[in-house]
Structure formats: C-alpha cells, structure tokens
Amino acid sequence: MIKLISTEETHPLRKSVLGENIPNYQYIYKGDDDEKTLHFGWFENETLGGILTAMKTEEKIWQFRGMAVSQSHQAKNIGSQLLQFASNYLKNEAEVIWLNAREKVVNFYLKNGFTAASDFFDIKPIGLHLKMSKLNKENIDFNHKLH
C-alpha cells in the first residue's frame, strides 16, 4: 500500500539507504516541509519499505527526490510502484517531472520513462548524478517547460 507520510517518516530510510557509507549524510532536505512538498510511503503491513518525495519547483514542474527502498524490499518493483503512484497522484499538477539520479540507478529511471536532461555532474560527497525528466501529460512542449 502507498500513502502520504510525514517528513519525519522519510528520515530512517533516507539515512540508511541513501546515506549508506556516506559520512554525515544530510537526510533532511531543504523544502521538505514546504506546503507543496509531498512524501509517499510504500508499506507492507505496518512496515515502511519505500519512500519518495515530490516537491513543486515551478508552475506545473515537480521534482522527485529522496527515493529509497529498504534493502529487504529491493528487487520487488517497489520503486516503480512509487514512481507510478506519485506521477498519477500529481497528474493534474505536474506536466514535467524531473530528478537527479545517482549514476548506479540511471537504468532504473530509463526503464520507468525518464530520459537524460543533462550530462553527469558531481554532488559531493555522494557522487555522479544525471538530471532526468519525463512528461507527465501528452502534447506538452518539453523544451519550453524544462530549464
């Protein structure tokens, strides 16, 4: 089951999955508590197994970030479910969705409909990232919407 969760509920998975092997990983993100920021959680019974944050960055443009799936729940299509659920949830709000993908998960996002929107760039101390995006509706001038 996927449902909206609080900012604080994202912290343990962000820290353990996204911050693994990264000293002093900053798992609290600027904008987490903004009115238009949404946090989604995937649950198995009462156990939170996956998270995704969606933040409005411009009119009709949203960023997905802080997506993590616990080690025990990986390879079960949970990440794809979170992406699809959040995209559908925002279908009337987001024409373009973008994210910064870590190098090791670029293929996952390609399989889920995202395309490269930049060259690789370094976010220290995490590593190489690729800006990726997708249209959340048909017939939108993509180049006009994404800067």
pLDDT per position as a tens digit, 64-77 = 999 999 988 988 99
CB-CB contact of 106 with 132 (8 Å): yes
In the structure, what pLDDT confidence band is assigned to residue 17 with cuts at 50, 70 and 90? confident
Q: Tell me how many degrees the CA angle 60-126-53 measures, rounded to the nearest 5.
A: 30
Q: How many domains does the chain have?
A: 1
pTM of the model: 0.87
The domain of 6 spans 2-145
pLDDT digit string (tens) for 67-107?
999 988 988 999 999 999 999 999 999 999 999 999 999 99
> In Å, how far are 7, 31, 102, 107 from 119, measured between CA atoms?
30, 25, 12, 15
pLDDT digit string (tens) for 123-143?
888 889 999 999 986 544 444
Average pLDDT over residues 53-65: 96
Give the domain CATH number at 80: 3.40.630.30
